[in-house]
């Protein structure tokens, strides 16, 4: 009875705190209403507050009071973490999805265009113009031209191309989040068109040009944003949502939300599968999946979803084969090969994690012969996919001489692979200075201190960043009666792999994004470390720092509550940003 009362007290404390802080934020909403005259914000915020408090209360019940069926383990046992995660991931992910509108995540406009391109291929429609840019429905071009500054001219197929000079000063939907973004979404929901007169005129123009060019495939507008060069599989979930919206002839806003929802569903599915397969450390993966940055990315068009999902599963399979399963089957080898073939081409830097396969004892393969065949299968799958997708990029990095290295965004000469090799001391100094001056930035952007396009106004308060960080460490530390699975040499090997991944990330941005006159490596963001963060935390478990009590569920529930408050805080910030 006393234990049950303590659990109910935790639920009440969590929901009560979120409710109290949410009610306190009402004064900010009142200020926004006074400044804009938009009374609807008060009603939306009240509904959001009720939904958030109810959701947090429901998650508290799952963590502390819900029971497994009699057939699972022992009667009356609590739900396993992998049974709770889908509800937490979907609930919080959907809230992030709607509070931080489409195209607000880092580089999301490019990811959306890439998903749109793949959706056209899925539907058997033309996907690219002669210049390689992506073809859009004329009614969808407005997301990259909110102010209507684009001017168009037809290409040889009758598609409407943007006159380059007219693109200066265009505004992308969601690029800067303020109250007007919410106003636009409210006006377009559920199936209205943005500036219908302009859209109808553009559609009619595109149709006439297509008829004049005798183009039977129909009329399209050409996006100004190039697609991301990577494997098409990175955008399969998002593209499925966009294709569904196009088949149903929904408006642009619905396409954006359907693509995001499908990406979120894929992430939750992959993380759930990884959590089920992990022999230990489930609470650590759960905690990383609850970070604000992880949730923000999972509910966007970003291909980071594919990277994190596949690498979480790859890590789980490797650890299961290394520590739990007695025999490595060819099915396990095939799973590892597929996961690495998908994840590798997205971002080559995570190839270092192939070294996790070396944790699996040779005896579990049945001898060196089967081990070599399995290594060839996994490595070969990765090599073939890398060659098909990134061969030109690899050759460019390897053969570019210093005189040809150029950082376009800075308009200056940049670093090259040859310079890094021939001036190792200079390279080491860059790495040292970067870690010295940028470590705080990496930490903050990994947890999610700046959401949106690293918008410092859309912040997670520092107190919450600290609490999330401490929560992750507490989840990683050893609990009473818990066996420490990763020991000595294997722990060192995991640290080497994680450090290798981080070094590869920094090296890639040194070459691709950093001008020669910079004192630190530019372009590295903390979110790049999320795919291997669970693995790193699992390896921190040791016999020196041991918690006196198992509080994993309390920590995870606290993270859910903090996300609930953060979502209410973000809504207020956007509403007040006029």
Nearest CA among 349, 277, 276, 266 for reference residue 305: 266
Tell me whether residue 362 is in a domain: no
- C-alpha–C-alpha distance, residues 204 and 266, integer Å: 37
Residue 380, domain member (yes or no): no
Domain hosting residue 39, numbered range: 1-79+550-578
pLDDT at position 273 is: 98
pLDDT band, residue 437 (cuts 50/70/90): very high
In this structure, are residues 446 and 293 in contact, taking their beta carbons and an 8 Å threshold? Answer: yes
Which tens digits make up the pLDDT trace of 156-170?
A: 888 888 888 888 888
Give the pLDDT confidence score for residue 62 in this predicted structure.
94
The rounded distance, in Å, linking the Cα atoms of 479 and 546 is 6
User: Comparing C-alpha atoms, which of 216, 236, 258 is closest to residue 119?
Assistant: 236
pLDDT mean across residues, the chain: 90
Per-residue pLDDT, 4: 55
Q: What is the mean pLDDT of residues 247-271?
A: 97
Q: How far apart are CA 376 and CA 231, in angstroms?
A: 22
Quick one: average pLDDT of 416-421? 85
* Domain presence at residue 450: no
What are the two backbone dihedrals, phi and then psi, of residue 76, each rounded to the nearest 5 degrees?
85, 5
In a domain, 47, yes or no: yes
- CA-nearest of 40, 45, 10 to 26 is 45
pLDDT digits (tens, 9 = 90+) for 348-375: 899 999 999 999 999 999 999 999 999 9
What three-state secondary structure class fits 381?
Answer: helix
Q: Write the pLDDT tens digit of every residue in 483-525.
A: 777 888 899 999 999 999 999 999 999 998 899 999 999 999 9
3-state secondary structure of 178: coil
DSSP state of 578: -
Structure token pair of residue 532: 């291997």
pLDDT band at 5 (very low <50, low <70, confident <90, very high): low
Which pLDDT score is estimated for 212? 80
Domain count within the chain: 1
The number of beta carbons lying within 10 Å of the beta carbon of residue 13 is: 15
Report if residue 502 sits inside a domain. no
- pTM (whole model) above 0.85: yes
Buried b (16+ CB within 10 A) or exposed e, 99-133: bbbbbbbbbbbbbbbbbbbbbbebeeebbbbeeeb
Task: Give me the mean pLDDT over the 424-431 stretch.
Answer: 93
pLDDT-derived band at 395, boundaries 50, 70, 90: low
Query: In this structure, is residue 66 part of a structural domain?
Result: yes
Residue 520 lies in a domain: no
Question: Average of pLDDT values for 325-348?
Answer: 94
User: For 44-85, what is each residue's pLDDT tens digit?
Assistant: 999 999 999 999 999 999 999 877 765 555 555 789 999 999
Give the integer Cα–Cα distance in Å for 11 and 178.
33
| pLDDT computed for residue 421 by the predictor | 87
* Predicted pLDDT at 397: 62
Residue 249 in 3-state DSSP? Answer: coil
pLDDT of residue 422: 87
- Contact indicator for 219, 159 with CB cutoff of 8 Å: yes
pLDDT at 404 exceeding the cut of 70: no
Residue 578's pLDDT band, with cuts at 50, 70 and 90, is low
pLDDT band at 530 (very low <50, low <70, confident <90, very high): very high
Q: Are 203 and 178 in contact (CB under 8 A)?
A: no
**Mean pLDDT, range 168-194, rounded to an integer:** 89
Query: In this predicted model, which residue has the larger pLDDT, 215 or 418?
Result: 418
Instruction: Retrieve residue 517's tokens.
Output: 């006159």
Residue 331 lies in a domain: no
Question: Residue 56 in contact with residue 560, Cβ under 8 Å?
Answer: yes
Residue with tokens 């859309």, as numbered in its chain? 458
């Amino acid at each position: 009875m006393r234990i049950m009362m303590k659990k109910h007290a935790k639920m009440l404390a969590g929901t009560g705190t979120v409710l109290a802080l949410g009610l306190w934020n009402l004064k900010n909403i009142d200020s926004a209403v006074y400044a804009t005259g938009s009374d609807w914000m008060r009603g939306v915020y009240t509904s959001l507050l009720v939904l958030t408090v109810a959701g947090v209360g429901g998650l508290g019940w799952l963590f502390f009071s819900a029971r497994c069926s009699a057939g699972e383990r022992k009667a009356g046992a609590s739900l396993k973490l992998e049974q709770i995660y889908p509800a937490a991931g979907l609930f919080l992910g959907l809230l992030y999805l709607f509070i931080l509108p489409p195209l607000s995540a880092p580089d999301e406009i490019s990811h959306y265009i890439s998903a749109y391109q793949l959706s056209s291929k899925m539907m058997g429609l033309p996907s690219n113009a002669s210049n390689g840019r992506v073809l859009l429905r004329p009614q969808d071009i407005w997301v990259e031209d909110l102010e209507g500054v684009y001017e168009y001219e037809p290409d040889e197929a009758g598609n409407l191309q943007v006159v380059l000079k007219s693109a200066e000063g265009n505004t992308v939907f969601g690029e800067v989040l303020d109250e007007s973004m919410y106003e636009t979404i409210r006006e377009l929901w559920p199936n209205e068109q943005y500036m219908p007169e302009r859209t109808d005129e553009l559609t009619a123009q595109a149709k006439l040009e297509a008829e004049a060019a005798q183009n039977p495939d129909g009329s399209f507008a050409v996006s100004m944003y190039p697609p991301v060069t990577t494997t098409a599989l990175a955008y399969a979930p998002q593209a499925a949502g966009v294709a569904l919206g196009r088949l149903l002839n929904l408006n642009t806003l619905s396409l954006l939300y359907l693509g995001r929802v499908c990406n979120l569903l894929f992430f939750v599915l992959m993380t759930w599968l990884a959590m089920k397969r992990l022999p230990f450390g489930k609470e650590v993966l759960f905690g990383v999946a609850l970070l604000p940055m992880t949730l923000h990315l999972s509910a966007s068009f970003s291909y980071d979803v594919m990277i994190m999902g596949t690498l979480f599963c790859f890590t789980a399979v490797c650890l299961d084969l290394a520590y739990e399963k007695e025999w490595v089957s060819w099915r396990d080898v095939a799973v590892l090969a597929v996961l690495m073939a998908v994840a590798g081409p997205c971002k080559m830097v995570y190839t270092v994690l192939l070294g996790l396969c070396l944790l699996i004892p040779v005896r579990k393969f049945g001898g060196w012969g089967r081990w070599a065949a399995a290594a060839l299968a996994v490595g070969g799958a990765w090599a073939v996919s890398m060659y098909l997708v990134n061969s030109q990029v690899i050759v460019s990095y390897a053969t570019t001489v210093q005189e040809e290295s150029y950082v376009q965004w800075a308009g200056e000469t940049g670093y090259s692979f040859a310079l890094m090799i021939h001036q190792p001391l200079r390279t080491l100094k860059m790495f040292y200075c970067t870690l010295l001056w940028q470590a705080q930035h990496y930490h903050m952007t990994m947890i999610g201190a700046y959401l949106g396009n690293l918008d410092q106004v859309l912040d997670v308060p520092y107190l919450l960043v600290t609490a999330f960080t401490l929560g992750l460490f507490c989840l990683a530390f050893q609990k009473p009666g818990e066996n420490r699975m990763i020991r000595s040499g294997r722990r060192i090997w995991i640290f080497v792999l994680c450090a290798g991944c981080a070094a590869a990330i920094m090296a890639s941005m040194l070459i691709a994004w950093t001008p020669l006159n910079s004192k630190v490596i530019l372009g590295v963001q903390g979110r790049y470390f999320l795919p291997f963060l669970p693995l790193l935390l699992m390896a921190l478990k040791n016999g020196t720092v041991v918690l006196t009590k198992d509080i994993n569920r309390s920590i995870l529930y606290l993270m859910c509550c903090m996300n609930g408050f953060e979502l209410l805080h973000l809504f207020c910030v956007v509403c007040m940003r006029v």
